[in-house]
Amino acid sequence: MVTRTMIVGGTGQIGSELAHELRRRFGKDSVLVLGHSRRPSEGLMDSGPYETADIRDRERLLELVVRYDIQEIYHLAAVLSGVGEKDPQFAWDININGLINVLEVARERAIKVFWPSSIAVFGNNCPHVDTPQDTVLQPTTMYGVTKVAGELLCEYYHRRYGVDVRSVRYPGIISAETLPGGGTTDYAVAIFYEAVRRNQYTCFVNKDTVLPMMYMPDCINAAIDIMAAPSDSLSTRLGYNLNGISFSTAELAELVRKRSPGFAIRYEPDFRQTIADSWPDSMDDYRATEDWGWKVEWGLDRMADDMFAKLRRRLAAGTL
Ligand code: AKB
């Protein structure tokens, strides 16, 4: 029998590609995409069911869950770190009240939930290289505060009400289909877009900034794999650390220049530099590997080749 899945935040960077992959694997009618303010990328609305809702409206969420007989929710709607610092109260409202609504509906209807946490749970006072799974969580951004609180909520709903909720701490996600919506790690995506469009980029963090990143196919696999894992194999309902590939901005620029000769980069760090500096350079993800077999597939060069191929195709087709 096909599982009926809802993707909340289904028009965003991760949601839109997850929707295509879940529809490819499990059938187009089995995946309901829930959008809100963002225009769905090409093919999303006509490749399966699509609805809109404000995640803060629990009644609407419940109505859709009942109407489509939803058994599984991937809840990806969030205000990211950069935008969150411009309006912290709004970030709290969307990120926390949205999550509570999903968890409440999940409790009422016995729905399995995936909710992503982030490297943003970490702050300045924990090891920044191979950051451990269990360490001090004192983030400096409202986004990070909502991710720590969100992890605790997930763990609480699991322990108290038996909600089957699963989570990972994503690093920055690099992808070529839908742009991220206002995070600190967005420069690692924008650099490829701008190289293909103009062969130059002005970067908002300095050249020595090192952060963990991950290519979209690994990000999607992580979400689908942890959801498929047997419940009793999961030793935590907080977010699992996931390490991807770590590199400095200067290394990234070099990688881009190799594929786009003459590429020029300028560095004009803004408020996001302080955020980036507070996050890990790399993470220890042994627990995800041990518990549910997590393994990163995409390395730096392969990812860069694929990004250029996809973005150049989009430029030629007039969709960039
Ligand atoms: C952000 O930069 O805010 C996000 C994240 C690391 O969670 N991409």
Ligand 1 neighbourhood includes 143 CB (under 6 angstroms) = yes
Ligand 1 neighbourhood includes 117 CB (under 6 angstroms) = no
Ligand 1 neighbourhood includes 12 CB (under 6 angstroms) = no
In one-letter notation, the amino acid at residue 142 is M
pLDDT at 236 over 80: yes
Q: Compute the distance between CA of residue 279 and CA of residue 299 in angstroms, rounded to an integer.
A: 21
- Mutate which of 118, 151, 187 for ligand 1? The one with the most ligand atoms within 8 Å of its CB, which is 118
Asked if the domains at 5-170+216-241 and 173-213+244-281+298-317 fall in one CATH topology, the answer is no
Ligand 1 neighbourhood includes 13 CB (under 6 angstroms) = no
| For range 268-296, the mean pLDDT | 98
| Per-residue tokens: 38 | 């963002």
Q: How far is the CA of 119 from the centre of ligand 1 (A)?
A: 7
- One DSSP character per residue, 175-227 reads -SSS---S-STTHHHHHHHHHHHHSEEEESS-TT-EEEEEEHHHHHHHHHHHH
Residue nearest to atom 1 of ligand 1 (CA): 183
Ligand 1 neighbourhood includes 183 CB (under 6 angstroms) = yes
Q: 66 Cβ partners below 8 Å, 6+ apart?
A: 109
**Tens digit of each residue's pLDDT (9 = 90 or more) over 186-231:** 999 999 999 999 999 999 999 999 999 999 999 999 999 999 999 9
| Per-residue tokens: 17 | 């590609």
Local structure of 34: helix, strand or coil: strand
pLDDT at 317 over 80: yes
Q: How far is the CA of 209 from the centre of ligand 1 (A)?
A: 14
CATH number among 3.90.25.10, 1.20.210.10, 1.10.3720.10, 1.10.10.10, domain 173-213+244-281+298-317: 3.90.25.10
pLDDT at 120 over 80: yes
Ligand 1 neighbourhood includes 120 CB (under 6 angstroms) = yes
In one-letter notation, the amino acid at residue 194 is E
Q: How far is the CA of 66 from the centre of ligand 1 (A)?
A: 32
Q: Of 143, 157, 170, 240, which is the active-site residue?
A: 143
* 3 band by pLDDT with thresholds 50, 70 and 90: low
pLDDT at 31 over 90: yes
- CATH superfamily, region 5-170+216-241: NAD(P)-binding Rossmann-like Domain (3.40.50.720)
Structure confidence at residue 79 (pLDDT): 97
What are the domain boundaries of the chain? 5-170+216-241, 173-213+244-281+298-317
Structure confidence at residue 44 (pLDDT): 84
**Tens digit of each residue's pLDDT (9 = 90 or more) over 55-72:** 999 999 999 999 999 999
Structure confidence at residue 1 (pLDDT): 55
**Tens digit of each residue's pLDDT (9 = 90 or more) over 75-112:** 999 999 999 999 999 999 999 999 999 999 999 999 99
* 263 band by pLDDT with thresholds 50, 70 and 90: very high
Sole residue written with tokens 């694997």? 25
State the Cα angle at 289 between 76 and 308, rounded to 5°.
Answer: 60
**Tens digit of each residue's pLDDT (9 = 90 or more) over 158-177:** 999 999 999 999 999 999 99
> Dihedral of the CA atoms 275, 280, 286, 292 (nearest 10)?
20
Burial class (CB in 10 A: 0-12, 13-18, 19+), 126: middle
| For range 271-285, the mean pLDDT | 98
What mean pLDDT is reported for the chain? 96
Q: How far is the CA of 27 from the centre of ligand 1 (A)?
A: 30
170 annotated active-site = no
